[in-house]
Amino acid sequence: MPLNSRDVFSAPEPRFSAFPSRRSVVHSTKGIVSCTQPLAAAAGQRILRDGGNAADAAVACAAALNITEPASTGIGGDMFCLFYNAKTKQVHALNGSGRAAGNISLDLMRKELGLAPGEDGKIPMTSVHAVTTPGAAAGWVDTVERFGSGKLSLEQILTPAIELGEEGFPVSEFASSFVCCLLL
């Protein structure tokens, strides 16, 4: 039986309007993968079929999206993970955001920005200090190590994305529109 949103959200907020999706309702008792790109979703589904869990499939999807929709997500960015452990009924979070340079300190930043101790300020977007070391790749590794099934290696989880990169794939209209914008 399909899940009715009115059963979950009894009184919709005034700002909420139902999205008239053109897609069919999908049901599964074994797991579902959803993302913006069908080939990336297939990568996650493959990992579930091979014995992986939701964390393994999420990493496979993210890696495949790097190939199929590089403007939407990237290994050179950050990643964040919320993982629900059904056995313990606990939600865990993982922060895969980038890190600042190792030799930077709050005192040094305040000095460079000309701020007195305790004074608020912002790092200018044009400053070298506004750049962080990308955290996505390390976040994927951490996600698989902390929340993964343990049944698949990181190599197995990344294989669908590697195959997409090596063998090629049809570029969607959505992805091509981003590439066109970058080239103009």
In this predicted structure, what is the pLDDT of residue 159?
Answer: 99
Q: What is the Cα–Cα distance from 184 to 181, expressed in whole angstroms?
A: 5
Nearest CA among 42, 74, 67, 52 for reference residue 144: 52
Its pTM stands at 0.78
pLDDT in tens, the chain (184 residues): 455 555 555 555 556 556 666 777 778 888 899 998 999 999 999 999 999 999 999 999 999 999 999 887 888 889 999 999 999 999 999 999 988 888 888 888 888 888 888 888 888 888 888 888 899 999 999 999 999 999 999 999 999 999 999 999 998 888 887 777 766 6
Contacts of residues 106-114 at CB distance under 8 Å and 24 or more positions apart, as own/partner, are none
In this predicted structure, what is the pLDDT of residue 81?
Answer: 95
Give the count of alpha carbons within 13 A of 147, CB side only. 25
In this predicted structure, what is the pLDDT of residue 2?
Answer: 54
In this predicted structure, what is the pLDDT of residue 45?
Answer: 96
Is 79 within 8 Å of 136 (Cβ atoms)? yes
Q: Is 154 exposed, middle or buried (0-12, 13-18, 19+ CB in 10 A)?
A: middle
